[in-house]
Amino acid sequence: MTESNVKPSGIVEIPDENPEIQESESLIEAFLTEHGAVSLESEGEPQPWNEAPLPAGHKSGFVALIGRPNVGKSTLVNALVGHKVAIVSRKPQTTRTRVTGIVTEPDHQIIFIDTPGIHDRPPHKINEKMIDEAVAAIPDADVILFVVDVSSPPHDEDIHIARLLAAKAEKRPVFFVLNKMDQLPLEKAEARIESFWALLPGYADSMPTSALKGTNIERLHAHLLDHLPEGPRYYPHDQITDQTIYQIAAELIREAVLHFAHQEVPHASAVLVEDLQEQENGTTYISARIWVERESQKPIMIGKGGQQLKRIGSVARKELERFVGGTVYLDLWVKVKPKWRDHDARLRELGFK
C-alpha cells in the first residue's frame, strides 16, 4: 500500500504561537476583511476591465524579486501587495515557481514577480528548473529588486547573483533591498550595508526594509513608481495574483507541510490538489495529495497514530478556510512518488515546464 489517509477535520487544535503563522493569518485576515475572497465582486454595471478609462500618466510594470533562498522575497511581496499571495517559511527553497502579486491603484499597476531563491547547490532537476524560473524573470522585468539579508554578511550566492544581474539585467534598474534590517545591530549597520553595496556598484537605488515588520515598504513602493514607465493595466483591478485557486490551495497546504516537517522531508514533499468544489451545504471540499519521495518518509509525514498529518491538516484547513471564506473539508493523502524531483512527467504534473 502506498497511500494513507487521515481525516484531519477538527481533530487537533494547534496553539498559534508561531509568529510566522500569526503573521500569515493576520495578512489573510486583513485580506478577507477587505475583500472576502481572492478577487473582488464589482458592483453596478459590468464594464470590460481593460476598457475602463485610465488617468493621464498611468504607470505600470513588472518588478522581479531576485535573491538567494530565505532572504524574505515572498514575505516582501506579501507586504508590498498587502495580501498573502506567496507562502513563507523558515526553510530555504520555499518558493518553487514564479508567483505574481498585483497591486492596482487608480494611477498605477505594479506586478511583482516573486521567484525561487537562486543558489549554487542544485542537486535535483526541480532545483535547476526553479533557478531557471528565477533567472528567466530578469529580462522580463522593468525593475529588479535584488533582495539580500543584511542580518548576516554577503554570502557567496549573493556574489553569484550580483554577477548574474550585472550580466543579464542590462539597462534595467536594479534596487538593492536590504531586508531583515530588524536583525541588524546598529553598530554593524554601516559596514554591513557598504559590503552589500560593493557587490553591485551600478545599482539604481537602495532601501533597508523589514518585510516582517512592514518597515519602509511604503517608501520602497514609492521609489519603485519613480522608475516605472507609463503603461496600461495588465490585469483587472480586483486581481491580486495569477495563480489558480487550485495552485493557491496546494501552496497553503505545502506551507503547513513545511512548518511541521523537518530535515530532508520538506524538500522531498510536494502537494497536488486533485479536487476542490463547493458542496450544496456551503462547505468547500478539497482533496489533496502530499507527495514524498521514499516509503520511509511516509510514516514520518503521517506520524504516530496519524498525529503529524492531523496537525498539518488542521493548520492547512484554517488557512484554506480563511482563503475561501467558509468551511473547508480537507481530505489529505500521502503518496510515495519515487524520485519525483528528478522525474520530468511528475514535475509537469506539478506545473513545471
Query: Shortest Cβ distance from residue 72 to Mg ion (Å)?
Result: 8
C-alpha cell at 189: 549597520
Describe the strand order of the beta sheet including 328-336 as a list of residue ranges. 3-6, 328-336, 284-292, 270-278
Alpha helices in the chain (DSSP H): 19-35, 73-81, 125-140, 156-168, 186-197, 217-227, 245-260, 297-302, 307-324, 344-349
x/- mask, Mg ion, residues 118-157, rule CB under 5 A, reads ----------------------------------------
C-alpha cell at 141: 522585468
Q: Which stretch binds Mg ion (CB under 5 A): 13-21, 48-56, 67-75, 141-149?
A: 67-75
- C-alpha distances in angstroms, 197 versus 147, 204, 330? 12, 11, 47
Give first-to-last CA distance, the chain, whole Å.
30
Query: Shortest Cβ distance from residue 35 to ligand GTP (Å)?
Result: 22
Numbers of helices and strands, H then E, in the chain = 10, 10
Q: 103: which residues sit within 8 A by CB, 6+ positions away?
A: 80, 81, 82, 109, 110, 112, 221
For ligand GTP, the closer of residues 49 and 352 by Cβ is 352
Q: Which stretch binds Mg ion (CB under 5 A): 70-78, 143-151, 171-179, 270-278?
A: 70-78
Query: Among 94, 104, 109, 284, which residue sits at the site for Mg ion (rule: CB under 5 A)?
Result: 94
For Mg ion, the closer of residues 65 and 330 by Cβ is 65
346 binds, among Mg ion, ligand GTP, none (CB under 5 to 8 A by kind): none
Query: Shortest Cβ distance from residue 272 to Mg ion (Å)?
Result: 19
Query: Shortest Cβ distance from residue 31 to ligand GTP (Å)?
Result: 17
Query: Among 24, 74, 109, 314, which residue sits at the site for Mg ion (rule: CB under 5 A)?
Result: 74
Taking Cα atoms as reference points, which of 324, 247, 258, 257 lies closest to residue 285?
Answer: 324
DSSP letter at 136?
A: H
For ligand GTP, the closer of residues 177 and 309 by Cβ is 177
Query: Shortest Cβ distance from residue 61 to ligand GTP (Å)?
Result: 21
Query: Among 24, 95, 210, 216, which residue sits at the site for Mg ion (rule: CB under 5 A)?
Result: 95
For ligand GTP, the closer of residues 82 and 92 by Cβ is 92
For Mg ion, the closer of residues 118 and 200 by Cβ is 118
C-alpha cell at 19: 509568529
70 binds, among Mg ion, ligand GTP, none (CB under 5 to 8 A by kind): ligand GTP
C-alpha cell at 236: 483587472
- C-alpha distances in angstroms, 118 versus 150, 327, 348, 350? 17, 37, 21, 20
Q: 48: which residues sit within 8 A by CB, 6+ positions away?
A: none
For ligand GTP, the closer of residues 68 and 298 by Cβ is 68
Query: Shortest Cβ distance from residue 334 to Mg ion (Å)?
Result: 24
For the segment 164-193, give every residue that binds Mg ion (CB under 5 A). none
Query: Shortest Cβ distance from residue 228 to Mg ion (Å)?
Result: 23
For ligand GTP, the closer of residues 88 and 286 by Cβ is 88
Tell the burial category of 176 from Cβ atoms under 10 Å away from its Cβ (0-12, 13-18, 19+): buried
Residue ranges binding ligand GTP (CB under 6 A): 20, 67, 69-75, 88-90, 92-95, 116-117, 179-180, 182-183, 210-212
Query: Shortest Cβ distance from residue 164 to Mg ion (Å)?
Result: 18
For Mg ion, the closer of residues 73 and 341 by Cβ is 73
- C-alpha distances in angstroms, 82 versus 32, 74, 86, 178? 11, 12, 11, 19
- Please report, as ranges, the residues that interact with Mg ion according to CB under 5 A: 73-74, 94-95
